[in-house]
Amino acid sequence: MSYLIFARKFRPQTFDEVVGQEPIVKTLKNAIQQERIPQSFLFSGPRGVGKTSVARIVAMALNSPGGPKVDFDPKSDVSREIAEGRSMDVLEIDGASNRGIDEIRNLRDTVKFKPSAGNYKLYIIDEVHMLTTEAFNALLKTLEEPPPHVKFIFATTEPHKVPLTILSRCQRFHFKRIATPEIVAKLEEIAKREKIKYDKKAIFLIAKASEGALRDSESILDQLASFCDEKITEEDVLFTLGYASEDLYFQVLQALRAGDANTLFRLIRELYEGGRDLVQFAKGLFEIFRHLLLFQCSPEHAEEFIEMSPEGITELKKIQTTFSRGELLLALGILGNLQGTLRRNLASPRILVETALLKLLHLDGLKSVEALVESGAPARPQATTRAASTPEPKLPVRLQTKVQAVVKETPQASGDVPQSLDAGGTAIATAISVEEAEGVWTRVIEYVKTKRMSTGIFLSEATPVEMSDEVATLGLPSEFEFHKETLEKEGNRRLVEDAFEVIAGKKIRVKYVVTTSTTVEGVPSAKVSGKKDEKVADIISEALEIFEGAKIVTKDS
């Protein structure tokens, strides 16, 4: 007898053997018992979760002797013929290979014939979304008013590609991914029946790697049963799938916190030279940071949403406070972008992973805006000393400043920003906190660009005018009024505020003002007439020279 792979050998033959699809099984059993059987079914869901297997079980139940009935005999001749694909009354059609209008026309010609032995003639069309538009149109009339002895069962992984005219004529059943514990139980049952020795952690890794597809996990177990001589171990699974161990991830976290670049590069080199999949490694590291964030956000219920071994969860609990919440959010952003660059093959996976780890290495260098503000700006003795040591020029020199602007605040923004006034009533925005926050501002722009490029481009035209504990005032030149209106929209404003929270570790409200560039002399010419105004201008000029990068802010009356 030829060898049967596990996915076929242990395929469910009755409703009770179906794993992880209890609501669907219950509905189908009730429909059969109550004789409320629809004319057409649509089974949708991910691969390997039981769509075709359930379609065959439905066919067995409908065509069982004395049926339809739920508790049919899976060992009867009718059931065996259906299970082996030999039944004349159950036709399984591959939608990818028979997708044209001619095949559907042939199907329409055969539906009028009654079943040869069973109660119904069933057409099971797998991957039905692959049919052409013309084929779907040819099927519509038959599907709407089929003969009473005909039932259609469609299976697809992409229901959104099936025309609505077809969907509206079917009862839809969506198959979900199977939970890891249920897959583990099924694999252990198969291993015992096949007399395969295994480690529990190895079975868990196989189940997790299948990502909810029972058929995939059965195929992996089948492969490992041939690969391993005596017992399936955790190392065997990791080597076969190219995965990294949980211990390695914790070594990476330890090296990141210690700032040990040498260890990081050594670990990546060992993975790469050992034939491990760096794409899967990056995915696993992303999950680890997600788990750490879960422990910080919901420590009481985090374990419910984490798929790891008990040992791994225990280790996570020990290091859950190693990174701050802001660092974890930024790390997730970096690793999320890494997934995209790995898929696009922009460079060697090894280089891309190493670059991402170098970025993660400097997470602890972040400082919140609150800390910057509380620390205060350093005095600028260099500028003072330079001013004192520089001889006065023989000829008058016009004052030039790098960032000098008169800010006209919008009505809704006025009154929110603390300002200091000079003797002439002109407000001078404090440049100290703004300058200290320049490093944070650059990271904010980059973060916004990774989330929404258009918003990031508009934001790059703005400059911080003033920073306080709770408000960041950002200025845009008058020619960028459209940029300001766009950035003030609720979605864009919230995105920028989220960026400040991620980068600075503190919630900061953002507001925008319009700035009007001026050239020299410190203030507009209208405000420097007369001796008193000239004195004011001198004071402002001296202040601007000492506080390099300061801004002059005037408020509308």
The three-state (H, E, C) secondary structure of 316-384, written as one string:
HHHHCCCCCHHHHHHHHHHHHHHHHHHHHCCCCHHHHHHHHHHHHHCHHHCCCHHHHHHHCCCCCHHHH
With respect to residue 249, please indicate whether it lies within any of the assigned structural domains. no
**Are residues 476 and 444 part of one domain?**
yes
Supply the pLDDT for residue 56: 94
Q: d(Cα 111, Cα 99) in Å, to the nearest integer?
A: 18
Q: Give me the residue label for tokens 């997708």.
A: 99
- How many domains, the chain? 4
**Are residues 520 and 413 part of one domain?**
yes
Domain boundaries, position 14: 6-174
Supply the pLDDT for residue 527: 40
Domain of residue 449, CATH code: 3.30.300.180
Listing DSSP states for 174-212 in one string gives: EPPPPPHHHHHHHHHHHHHHTT-EE-HHHHHHHHHHTTT
Instruction: Name the maximum alpha-carbon separation found in the chain.
Output: 116
Domain end marker among 321, 341, 365:
365
For residues 141, 142, 147, 153, the Cα torsion angle rounded to the nearest 10 degrees is -130
Domain end marker among 158, 174, 190:
174
**Are residues 413 and 535 part of one domain?**
yes
Residue type, 282: A
**Are residues 184 and 167 part of one domain?**
no
Supply the pLDDT for residue 454: 81
Using alpha carbons, select from 211, 271, 212, 273 the residue that is nearest to residue 247: 271
**Are residues 303 and 229 part of one domain?**
no
Q: What are the 10-residue block averages of pLDDT along the chain, 557 residues in total?
A: 85 93 94 92 94 94 89 91 90 85 85 86 92 88 88 93 92 94 94 92 93 94 88 91 92 92 94 91 94 91 88 90 89 92 88 94 65 51 40 37 39 39 38 53 85 84 81 84 86 88 82 67 41 52 55 47
The first and second tokens of residue 178, run together, are 């199977």
Give the HSE-up count for residue 456: Cα atoms under 13 Å, Cβ half-sphere.
15
**Are residues 185 and 166 part of one domain?**
no
Q: d(Cα 180, Cα 185) in Å, to the nearest integer?
A: 9
Q: d(Cα 476, Cα 464) in Å, to the nearest integer?
A: 9
With a CB cutoff of 8 Å and minimum separation 6, the contacts of 122 are 58, 59, 62, 63, 89, 90, 91, 150, 151, 152, 153
Supply the pLDDT for residue 385: 38
With respect to residue 505, please indicate whether it lies within any of the assigned structural domains. yes
Q: d(Cα 510, Cα 490) in Å, to the nearest integer?
A: 11
With respect to residue 390, please indicate whether it lies within any of the assigned structural domains. no
Q: d(Cα 338, Cα 282) in Å, to the nearest integer?
A: 8
| Strand locations in 372-478 (E) | 405-408, 420-421, 427-429, 463-467, 471-477
Q: d(Cα 417, Cα 415) in Å, to the nearest integer?
A: 6
Q: Give CA separation, 300 vs 203, 303, 322, 508, in Å.
A: 27, 8, 18, 28
**Are residues 73 and 213 part of one domain?**
no
**Whether the model pTM is above 0.85:** no
Domain of residue 213, CATH code: 1.10.8.60
Q: d(Cα 458, Cα 481) in Å, to the nearest integer?
A: 11
